[in-house]
Structure 1
Amino acid sequence: MGRASRGKKARNRDHQGEWTATRAAVRASAIRSDSLRLLPGNPWVRAMVSSNINNVLSDMHRVLLNSGAPEGAAWELACSMVLGKLGMRPPWPPGPDAVAKWQLDQDVLILRSGELTVISPSAHAAVMAAAATLEPGDLALLSRDRDVVIPTGLLVLPEPVVCVNRTGSQSDTLAYGWQFTTQHQIHPTAQYPGVRISTFMDRDGPVQPDDWRAAVAQARATGHPLPRLVPDGTYGMRGDRPGTHPSEPSTELLTEKHKELQAALTQASAWRCEPVADIGEWSGGRVEDPDDDFACRYMFAFWRLVAQGVTTTTSPPSAPQGPRSPGRPHDPDIRVVRLAQQIPAQRPAEAGQGKEVRSYHHRWPVRMHKVRQWYPSAQEHRLIWRGPYIKGPADAPLMLGEKVYVADSH
């Protein structure tokens, strides 16, 4: 399901200090506690989510009507494609407000019971580069039981990811949540294992246009301040590798159909159909997300890189904890995801050729290379990445050239 967004323009960000696992864990725990305290029953959040759901269902309904679907069946199909994919069971609710209540209940469940995870900046950069290589059809290779080691989780990023959606609006995502679901598609008997993904905007993040500041102030004035993590988009991913079933469409066809649907949703007259490159790069900045699938691509890459062993998962050193307030979750074990290793970027030998040898004082994530690896024992191809190929010495500080985006107040 699509997301609500807030507009802004770019400016450079000042360096905010070195990332540490302990500091990241303390920050993530505090953010989750604040969100659990302020999210349940918040009427402002529910109104925003309800409006977003209404827009998504209405857009899908119009597309299906224009595709020739019968009037009576178009709404059922729209609900199945949007709500059933998220794990909601038919019969469908009478309106968007009931759907919003259900969605927020799921988000609260993720915040309360999901395994809290933080990711280092370098591992995050590797995931971003890997996500850039993914086609929509690649996402159909997800094996939930093999790839997703945590059934319910909350991943807090080192800094917000700013995405530009199909309308040009921008939003900042600070955390992703996920939980296992059963998808209900079109017919009551069409049920598939799936994963529901929730994206959470940063209330205090870089996206701060005037109307957002006004909404935050009004919510606070009425006694219902917005939580630090504001529920945004929700997405459903099928988790039984449908792209590999003989009776299912191929990954290439799934990619084509996905692009056709997104083109219809954006009412674009011309659609860019060039294939996505197998080599992805990330050096900071905004993410263009015209297909509204970046959240799924990021989480697919995250899960697969963890399963592949490109990243390693540990617990942070114990940090002093203050007294626990009522309702505050206890986080004895917070997962920390880091790069397991880095591979120096390949470049022509310069020594002995009359050229000055470069001496790097920083390192940059350069690229991830996507391949389909054949596993004879399983008789199947699996999508893996080679890399990350990182330029610069391993002991040098990470330099991403990051930017943040703030609203134009003029």
Structure 2
Amino acid sequence: MAKKQKKGWTAAGAARAAREHRTTTAEFLRRAPIARIDRAQRLVDAFELHRSHVGGHEEAAALMLITGLGYPETWQPEHWYEIGETVIDDEAVDLAKADLYILSPQMVDVITAAASSLTEDDLTLLRADDLPCRTGVLVLPRPLLVKTPNGNISDDRAFLWRGPIPMSIPDPATGAFVSKPAVKISTYYDRNGPVEADSFREFAAQARAEGTPLPPLMLDGIQCYPFEFVPSSAQLRNLDAWADNARQSGTAQRRWEEEHGYQENVVLGDYVSGDEIDDPDGRFMLRFLYAFWRLCDQSIAQISEAEVNHSARVTAARVQAPPEVRVVELRSARSASSDADDGESLDRWNHRWVVRMHKVRQWYPSEQRHKVIYRGPYVKGPADKPLIGGEIVRSVTR
């Protein structure tokens, strides 16, 4: 029997899938008790990591956890389930009301490349007006394999943001908490992604038995980042120390899992160790979204609206979500004739190639601020010649 060919990406198909993924996931968060129990357990794990980082100081660890989720330092919940329930309830509301964006596969490669170029100084330029909307969710055409600070592999499939929100952070000079405008970001991993774990299979079986099977998108980490935040040298050292502590904790956890017969970090498919995106400080989600937001503001990205038919409206109405989907694609490359402005004849080339994308910090006098600007990528060479791989942007087939 002939092997069935996998269908290629289309904007209409991706928009339809993204609507269904968002709706099914929001429904699960709203009504599944197991979602709250799972979040409470994850919060306990995060608290233990914070507590080991601050030398066993429970109050400091709790403050790190609560304020890092975007809640005020004055909140004093009675138990972990209360925190988990609040987090899940807020997440369901935000996910349902968010503006929905999808990316073409080519655009994913461009954004990944752009994100890898962002430095600590670049992140200090992030402002609320960089966000294309107050609340948005970005669904990817495929999961991105990301190596987290604890050494595990995550298959990230969607990112939800909302901002500006008030975030309580300690003042380096006084230690007192002050409120700063921030962006809150949630990462969702792919239920059907390539990362396989014994504990996840047990969790999925339990969800089915309870009548609430797992949705396509599974809530993972939640973090907040202040706008225009310039960390002190002490804060940067603290971030490095936290990441180092996470790596040690992850190593110890994997050793325990192996000794007890659990396989928690198996990646299926064509994965080869080293193919994943390294995220040593736990801020890949911020870098990826910041690169996405900046590219949306430039001519590199082309944004269009997917068709909204009756089926799309019915799907969105299940959770009172907007049915519109914004499709973000790589804008058509410059024509070969437009490359002649560098005085070089293209006749002698027998292929096309992707010109390296590079980043600059552009000064805007009217706004009295710098912005991150990306120049390129574009395809150079005769239009009728085959395309070969570029230096940074992979799989750009234009």
Alignment partner of 1:24 is 2:8:
no
Q: Which amino acid aligns with 1:38?
A: F
Amino acid at match of 1:183: M
CA distance in 2 between counterparts of 1:194 and 1:137 reads 17
- C-alpha displacement of 1:222: 2.2
Q: Whole-Å Cα distance in 2 between the matches of residues 221 and 183 of structure 1? A: 39
Verify: 1:168 aligned to 2:147, yes or no: no
Mapped pair 1:106 → 2:94: no
Aligned to 2:243: 262
Question: Which deviations, in whole Å up to 9, do the C-alpha atoms of 1:72-130 show, x marking residues without a partner?
Answer: xx444333333213321222323432222122112201221111111111222111111
Query: Kindly tell me: are residues 98 and 368 of structure 1, through their superposed partners in 2, closer, same or farther at Cα, counting changes over 3 Å?
Result: farther
Question: Are 1:138 and 2:138 matched, yes or no?
Answer: no
C-alpha distance in structure 2 between counterparts of 1:262 and 1:234, whole Å:
16
1:370 equivalent to 2:359? Answer yes
**Which of 134, 139, 162 is residue 156 of structure 1 equivalent to?**
139
CA distance in 2, matches of 1:333, 1:147: 21
Partner of 1:334: 325
Q: Does 1:58 align with 2:48?
A: yes
- % of aligned pairs identical? 31
- Residue 207 of structure 1 corresponds to which residue in structure 2? 195
For 2:247 and 2:144, the matched residues in 1 are separated by: 22
Aligned to 2:160: 177
8 A contact 2:140–2:158 mirrored in 1? yes
| Structure 1: tracts of 5 or more residues without a match | 1-13, 66-70, 269-283, 403-410
Which position in structure 1 is the counterpart of 2:350?
358
Alpha-carbon separation, structure 2, partners of 1:174 and 1:335? 17
Stretch deviating more after TM superposition (14-23 or 31-40): 14-23
2:229 equivalent among 218, 227, 242: 242
Post-superposition offset of 1:32: 1.4
In structure 2, how many angstroms separate the alpha carbons of the residues matched to 1:163 and 1:205?
Answer: 12
Distance 1:99 1:137, change over 3 A: farther
Partner SS for 2:296: helix
2:208 maps to which residue?
Answer: 220
C-alpha contact (below 8 Å) 2:183/2:226 kept by paired residues: yes
Instruction: Tell me, in whole angstroms, the C-alpha distance in 2 between the residues paired with 1:143 and 1:149.
Output: 11
Asked whether the 8 Å contact 2:9–2:105 carries over to 1, the reply is yes
Structure 2: how far apart are the matches of 1:147 and 1:285?
A: 30
Are residues 1:127 and 2:111 paired?
yes
Q: Which residue of 1 aligns with 2:30?
A: 40
Structure 2 unaligned segments of length 5 or more: list them. 250-273
Match of 1:115 among 84, 87, 99: 99
Point out the more displaced range, 130-139 or 146-155.
130-139
Deviation digits for residues 316-375 of structure 1, max 9, x if unmatched? 23456278367244544211112235469999x89798xxx4335xx7x67432222222
| Distance of aligned partners of 1:37 and 1:351 in 2 relative to their CA distance in 1, 3 Å threshold | closer
CA gap of 1:322–1:398, structure 2 versus 1, over 3 A, is farther
**Aligned residue identity for 2:242:** L
Deviates further, 218-227 or 291-300:
218-227
TM-score (norm 2): 0.77
| CA distance in 1: counterparts of 2:277 and 2:323, whole angstroms | 34
Higher relative contact order (CA 8 A, sep 6+): 1
Tell me which of 45, 60, 67 is aligned to 1:84: 67
Residues 1:109 and 1:117: Cα distance change in structure 2 (over 3 Å): same
Structure 1 Cα separation of the partners of residues 195 and 380 of structure 2: 31
Secondary structure in structure 2 of the residue aligned to 1:40: helix
How far apart, in 2, do the equivalents of 1:384 and 1:79 lie?
Answer: 38
Alignment-mate amino acid for residue 18 of structure 1: G
Counterpart of 2:297 in structure 1 is 307
| Cα distance change, pair 352–23 in 1 and its aligned pair in 2 (3 A) | closer
Task: Measure the CA separation in 2 of the matches of 1:161 and 1:305.
Answer: 19
**TM-score relative to the length of structure 1:** 0.75
CA drift of 1:225 comes to 1.2
Residue range with higher mean Cα deviation, 214-223 or 15-24: 15-24
1:139 and 1:82, CA in 2 relative to 1: closer, same or farther beyond 3 A?
Answer: farther
My pick for the range that moved more, 169-178 or 211-220, is: 211-220
Tell me, in whole angstroms, the C-alpha distance in 2 between the residues paired with 1:148 and 1:125.
20
Question: Residue 385 of structure 1 aligns with which residue?
Answer: 374
**Structure 1 residue 177, shift from structure 2 partner:** 0.6
Local SS of the residue matching 1:91: coil
CA distance in 2, matches of 1:29, 1:394: 36
User: Is the helix fraction higher in 1 or 2?
Assistant: 2
Match of 1:11 in 2: none
Cα offset, 1:152, TM superposition: 0.6
C-alpha displacement at 1:401, in angstroms? 6.3
In 1, distance between residues paired with 2:222 and 2:306? 29
What is the letter of the counterpart of residue 313 of structure 1? I
